[in-house]
Amino acid sequence: MSRLSEREQKPKSEFKIEALGGDKIYQWLQHKTNEAKIGNLSRGHTGESEDDFLKLGVEKINDEVIESIASGIFYNTQELKFEIKTSIHLNDQIEKPKGKKKLESSFAFSPFEMLKDLDGNSLNLQEIADILERKADDQNLELKLEDENCLKIKSSPQEEFVFLRIKSRNPFDPINLGYLFYMQASLNGKGAEEFKSLYQRYGNLLQKLISAAYESQSIPIPNLLFELKPPSNLDEKLENAKQILEANKRMLRAGGILDEDFSEMIQERIRLKERPRETFDDIGGSEKVKEELRSILIGLKNPEFFRKWGTEPARGVLLYGEPGTGKTLLAKALAHEADVDLYVVQVADIVNSLYGRSEKLIQGVFDDALRNRPCIVFFDEIDALASHREHSTEVTSRIVTTFLTNLDGLKERTEGMVVIGTTNRQNAIDPAMLRPGRFDTIIEVPLPDENSRKEIFRIHLNAARKTAGTEVFDELDLDQLVKETRSMSGADIKELIRRALAEKVKQEIAGYTPSFVRTKDVINVISGYERISTAKNKLGFV
């Protein structure tokens, strides 16, 4: 239970909120995640339950602005996400329920809806936003007023907090009409410290919101402390729940359904990159490719534009071209521009390492991505997965069938998810993959032309200067370097610059005072690099 107490009188009033017990809450969320995954394996998921909700604090305030505050954390077992919520009930909005139901024993978060026209007292969210902006001590805080009933607050691209006016659909809820402050996130990839930091930010923002609410009403802020913390009996509940979970695991193992070693393999072979940092500006050339990918971006961010015209965005994209042309980088940049997560799947590693289990892994990738949409799923070297089935084994044919089934299902199940595959061998792809509705957008990523190579040189030269914090290049003749790198990819050019700089490092270690990198230094590297590439071609490595 939370504790609300009057603090000693100070010259300046302060409404203080403390977010306590982050470690315990994180343990509870980890348990709920494991419980949900086991439930999905056993097909025993029965929907939401009281056990999916953890009360963090309920208090009556009864002052001129706020009647009551109630906080809790809810775990969505279907999407594997958690929601921290606080309901703020204004003083003249309370609707007394019939019977003897009490606030302290009956509090729950019912489904809610935004309302455009509500009776009773309300807050001026524009004024609250102005107050928050004026007093902001966090330069990264972004405030966006959706309308008079909804204010959105972003502390980073990954974190969005929402403050909105709501009405419960259940007229007997004790908190039937008021304001809700909430945020939703996934525990995927978050350690205990990262969660605790997020929990603290939630508490700090809630405190600022409530203080701004009082100021917007020209009412003195009370000297009060509200503690967000889990119930005192949480340890006991967790211990009991863990025993039940272990019993379910033993049952699944006995039935051959649960393979924990397999789960570890998934973690090793699938990397979730949350909002990659790479942008289209980091990629030299490929302007036509970027333009085509921007149409995919619109489908991810604004699918309603396609619905308006009675069509739908592409859900499958195949990028093909020579090695080193930036196909992987383009996929990362698309995820960055769309502000979504990117699942990176190294197909060759999966097929070679998990023989006989790959179908299960592919299914797991799609299931996890669907729960965490919007997102992009990136299959690198997809020809290792989707080669011509007449030249493949029975096992690889089953893998392709699983993959195609999931691609077909995207059209029917969801928006906000795109699958991207890359290949250096387009002709090796099973034709069934390229049918409309699957990889229906096929984009060639060519070797860079002269202008593109010049741009690629500039990008990597500037990156080296930025890393060094000073100038490391003489005035280079880019026109000559562009001519010398005919038929080279962007990855080749990046490697040339790295090798030229590495030569200067060797000279300095040997006791010399090296000059800046000059044009002839890069040309010398090009000559050696071409000899190595020729040898690789003869040996069949490329």
Its sign, for the CA torsion 121, 126, 129, 130, is negative
pLDDT value at residue 6? 44
* Structural tokens at position 194: 């990262």
pLDDT value at residue 345? 82
Q: In 3D, which of 378, 369, 390, 370 has the Cα closest to residue 439?
A: 378
What does the DSSP 8-state code read for residue 221? P
Q: What is the mean pLDDT of each run of 10 residues along the chain (542 residues)?
A: 43 76 88 68 47 84 84 79 87 45 37 40 84 75 84 80 71 58 79 87 90 86 86 83 68 51 54 75 87 87 83 87 89 89 77 61 78 84 66 65 78 75 82 81 91 92 92 92 90 92 93 92 85 49 44
pLDDT value at residue 199? 92
CA distance 150 to 153: 10
Please list, in sequence order, all residues whose beta carbon lies within 8 angstroms of the beta carbon of residue 119, skipping any fewer than 6 positions away: none
Q: What is the pLDDT of residues 430-479, one digit of tens each?
A: 777 888 778 888 999 999 999 999 999 999 999 999 999 999 999 999 99
Please list, in sequence order, all residues whose beta carbon lies within 8 angstroms of the beta carbon of residue 67, skipping any fewer than 6 positions away: 60, 61, 89, 90, 91, 92, 93, 94
Kind of pairing between the strands at 224-228 and 15-19: parallel
Are the CB atoms for 60 and 67 separated by under 8 Å? Answer: yes
450-539: CATH architecture: Orthogonal Bundle (1.10)
What does the DSSP 8-state code read for residue 386? S
Q: In 3D, which of 10, 2, 463, 466 has the Cα closest to residue 231?
A: 2
pLDDT value at residue 373? 78
Share of the chain above pLDDT 70, in %: 72
Are the CB atoms for 13 and 221 separated by under 8 Å? Answer: yes
**Is the omega angle on the peptide bond into residue 374 within 30 degrees of 0, that is, cis?**
yes
**In this structure, which topology does domain 259-444 adopt according to CATH?**
Rossmann fold (3.40.50)
* Structural tokens at position 362: 């592919």
Q: What residue spans of 76-219 are helical by DSSP H? A: 103-106, 125-134, 192-216
Q: In 3D, which of 329, 284, 324 has the Cα closest to residue 459?
A: 284
Interaxial angle between packed helices 192-216 and 22-41, expressed in degrees from 0 to 180 and rounded to the nearest 10: 120
pLDDT value at residue 180? 87
Residue 410, number of CB atoms within 10 A of its CB: 20
Please list, in sequence order, all residues whose beta carbon lies within 8 angstroms of the beta carbon of residue 319, skipping any fewer than 6 positions away: 289, 327, 330, 331, 420, 421, 422, 423, 443, 445
pLDDT value at residue 516? 94
Domain boundaries, the chain: 20-247, 259-444, 450-539
Torsion angle (degrees, nearest 10) of CA 97, 103, 105, 108: 80
Radius of gyration (C-alpha) of the chain in whole angstroms: 29
Q: What is the pLDDT of residues 372-424, one digit of tens each?
A: 778 899 988 887 775 545 555 565 677 777 788 888 776 665 678 899 999 88
Please list, in sequence order, all residues whose beta carbon lies within 8 angstroms of the beta carbon of residue 117, skipping any fewer than 6 positions away: none
What long-range pairs does 335-338 form, CB within 8 A, spacing at least 24? 335/273, 335/275, 335/276, 335/375, 335/376, 336/275, 336/276, 336/277, 336/278, 336/279, 337/279, 337/280, 337/294, 337/297, 338/297, 338/300, 338/301, 338/374, 338/376
- 412-431: b or e for each residue (b if 16 or more CB lie within 10 Å)? eeebbbbbbbbbeeeeebbe
What does the DSSP 8-state code read for residue 416? S
Q: What is the pLDDT of residues 307-333, one digit of tens each?
A: 888 888 888 899 998 888 889 899 999
Are the CB atoms for 318 and 439 separated by under 8 Å? Answer: yes
* Structural tokens at position 325: 């042309």
